[in-house]
C-alpha cells in the first residue's frame, strides 16, 4: 500500500508534466529568444527510483551480544522505493539552484539471537537545497553534478523480545547533513528533459548511528514559461532592381532597321543561406515541411536562371564531437540535395559537402552564435537570362 501511494503520486505529477509539455512544447533551440529564456527559467521536476540504506549490522549484533545473546543470525533489507519532488531556478546556462522534498523509503532488519529476537525498521524523509552544475557535451546530452544540504527526519521502530538491547523502541531524529550526486540529462525539447541521477545522503538513523542512503532515480524536468518562438521567413528572394527609365528618343534621320543582337546570358554564382532550424527539426537530418517550402521558394526564384551546378554545404556549431558534427553536416547536405532532385533538378548537377564546425561565422560560446553557425548554404552557379 505504501509503495502504491508513492507510485500514484509520481504518476500524477508525470502526467501533468507531459500534458503541459504537449500543449506548449516547441522544438529545442529554435531561436535566440527561447535560448535566453532557458538560461533563467524556473523549472519543476519529479523523480522515482530505488533507495539503498547502509545498516550498521556490526553495532546491532554487538549490542545484542552485550545484552546476553550467545549468537545472532542477522538478516536485512536495505532497499526500497524512493521519490522526490523539486523546484529549481536556472542562474545561467551552467548553474542552477534546486530545492525540494524527498522520501528515501525504509530499511529493515531482523536479528535472531540465542535467546530472543529483535526486529527493526527505519525510514527517512526531508527537504534539501542544492547547487546544480551542468556541462553540455552534445546539443541534447549534459553531465550533471550537485552538492548541497538536507534536513532529514529519521523514524525508527523496534519490536521483539530483546527490546532491552535498545534504549527506545520508537526513536526519531532530525539532523542537517550534506548530500552530493552525479547524473546525466537528455533534452527531449527545450522545455522537457529526462534526468538520471545517483545521490548520496549522509544521515543519522535515530539510534546514534551515522550512515549513508543512496537514491538511484529517473526524473522528468519541465521548464516553465516558455515564450512562443519568433516567426521569420526561412528565405526571402531578393527584389529585382528597377530598370532605368529609357532616354527620350529623338529621330534625326531615318535609316534602314538593323537586327539587334540578343544580349548574352551573364554568368553568376549565388549563395543562399538557410538556418538549420528553418530546414530541420533539432538534431535531425530529414527536411521538415517548412524547410521543403523554403527550398521550393528558392527554386522558384531561380526560374530565370540557367543553372549549371548546385552545391549544398552543411555546417554545425561546436557542441559535440568533431566526428559527430561532420557526419551531421553531411547528412543535412545530402537531405537538401535529395529534395532538390525530387523537384526536378538533375542529380548530376547537385553536389554535397559537409564542413562540420570548421567554418564558424559567429562565436560558439554563446547560444546566438551557435544558432548562426548551424546552417546549410546552397551555392548556385549558372547564367541569368
Domains observed in the chain: 2-223 (2.40.160.20), 266-384 (3.30.1330.60)
Alpha-carbon distance of 89 to 24, in angstroms, equals: 19
Q: Work out whether strand 95-113 and strand 192-204 pair parallel, antiparallel, or are unpaired.
A: unpaired
| pLDDT tens, N- to C-terminus, the chain (385 residues) | 445 545 455 554 455 444 444 444 444 444 455 567 788 899 999 999 999 987 666 776 676 666 666 666 767 788 999 999 999 999 998 999 999 999 999 988 787 766 677 788 889 999 999 999 999 888 789 999 999 999 999 998 888 776 555 667 788 889 999 999 999 999 998 889 999 999 999 988 766 677 889 999 999 999 998 876 554 445 555 555 555 555 554 544 555 545 555 566 667 677 788 887 788 877 788 888 888 998 888 888 888 788 888 899 999 888 888 888 899 989 999 999 999 999 888 888 899 999 988 888 888 888 888 888 889 998 888 877 6
Give the three cell numbers for residue 382.
Answer: 549558372
Q: Give the largest Cα separation in the chain, rounded.
A: 137
The whole-number pLDDT of residue 279 equals: 84
Query: 47 near 195, Cβ under 8 Å?
Result: yes
38 exposure class (CB count in 10 Å sphere: 0-12, 13-18, 19+): buried
Claim: this prediction has a pTM higher than 0.95? no
The whole-number pLDDT of residue 30 equals: 45
The whole-number pLDDT of residue 15 equals: 53
**Backbone angle region of 48, left / alpha / beta, with phi > 0 → left and psi within -120 to 50 → alpha:** beta
The whole-number pLDDT of residue 369 equals: 84
Query: 204 near 213, Cβ under 8 Å?
Result: no
Question: Exposure pattern of 167-193 as b/e (b: 16+ CB <10 Å)?
Answer: eeeebebebebebebebebebebbbbb
Alpha-carbon distance of 251 to 355, in angstroms, equals: 60
The whole-number pLDDT of residue 143 equals: 96
Query: 235 near 272, Cβ under 8 Å?
Result: yes
Give the three cell numbers for residue 106.
Answer: 525504509
The whole-number pLDDT of residue 25 equals: 40
Amino acid at each position: 500500500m505504501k509503495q502504491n501511494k508513492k507510485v500514484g503520486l509520481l504518476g500524477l505529477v508525470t502526467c501533468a508534466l507531459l500534458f503541459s509539455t504537449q500543449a506548449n512544447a516547441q522544438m529545442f533551440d529554435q531561436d535566440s529568444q527561447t535560448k535566453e529564456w532557458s538560461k533563467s527559467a524556473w523549472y519543476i521536476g519529479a523523480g522515482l527510483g530505488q533507495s539503498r540504506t547502509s545498516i550498521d549490522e556490526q553495532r546491532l549484533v554487538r549490542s545484542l551480544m552485550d545484552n546476553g545473546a550467545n549468537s545472532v543470525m542477522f538478516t536485512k533489507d536495505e532497499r526500497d522505493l524512493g521519490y522526490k519532488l523539486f523546484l529549481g531556478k536556472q542562474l545561467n546556462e551552467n548553474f542552477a539552484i534546486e530545492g525540494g522534498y524527498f522520501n528515501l523509503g525504509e530499511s529493515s532488519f531482523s536479528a535472531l539471537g540465542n535467546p530472543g529476537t529483535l526486529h527493526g525498521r527505519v525510514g527517512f524523509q526531508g527537504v534539501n537545497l542544492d547547487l546544480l552544475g551542468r556541462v553540455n557535451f552534445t546539443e541534447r546530452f549534459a553531465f550533471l553534478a550537485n552538492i548541497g544540504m538536507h534536513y532529514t527526519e529519521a523514524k525508527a521502530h523496534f519490536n521483539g523480545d530483546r527490546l532491552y538491547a535498545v534504549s527506545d523502541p520508537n526513536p526519531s531524529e532530525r539532523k542537517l547533513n550534506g548530500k552530493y550526486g552525479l547524473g546525466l540529462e537528455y533534452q527531449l525539447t527545450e522545455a522537457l528533459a529526462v534526468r538520471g541521477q545517483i545521490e548520496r545522503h549522509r544521515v543519522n538513523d535515530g539510534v546514534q548511528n551515522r550512515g549513508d542512503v543512496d537514491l538511484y532515480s529517473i526524473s522528468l524536468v519541465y521548464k516553465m514559461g516558455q515564450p512562443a518562438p519568433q516567426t521569420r521567413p526561412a528565405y526571402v528572394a531578393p527584389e529585382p532592381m528597377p530598370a532605368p527609365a529609357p532616354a527620350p528618343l529623338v529621330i534625326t534621320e531615318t535609316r534602314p532597321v538593323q537586327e539587334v543582337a540578343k544580349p548574352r546570358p551573364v554568368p553568376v554564382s549565388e549563395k543562399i543561406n538557410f538556418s538549420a532550424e528553418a530546414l530541420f527539426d533539432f538534431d535531425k537530418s530529414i527536411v521538415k515541411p517548412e524547410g521543403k517550402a523554403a527550398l521550393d521558394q528558392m527554386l522558384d526564384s531561380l526560374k530565370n536562371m540557367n543553372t549549371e551546378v548546385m552545391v549544398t554545404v552543411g555546417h554545425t556549431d561546436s557542441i559535440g564531437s568533431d566526428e559527430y558534427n561532420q557526419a551531421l553536416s553531411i547528412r543535412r547536405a545530402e537531405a537538401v540535395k535529395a529534395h532538390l532532385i525530387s523537384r526536378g533538378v538533375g542529380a548530376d548537377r547537385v553536389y554535397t559537402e559537409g564542413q562540420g564546425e570548421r567554418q564558424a561565422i559567429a562565436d560558439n560560446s554563446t547560444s546566438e552564435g551557435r544558432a548562426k553557425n548551424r546552417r546549410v548554404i546552397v551555392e548556385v552557379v549558372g547564367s541569368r537570362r
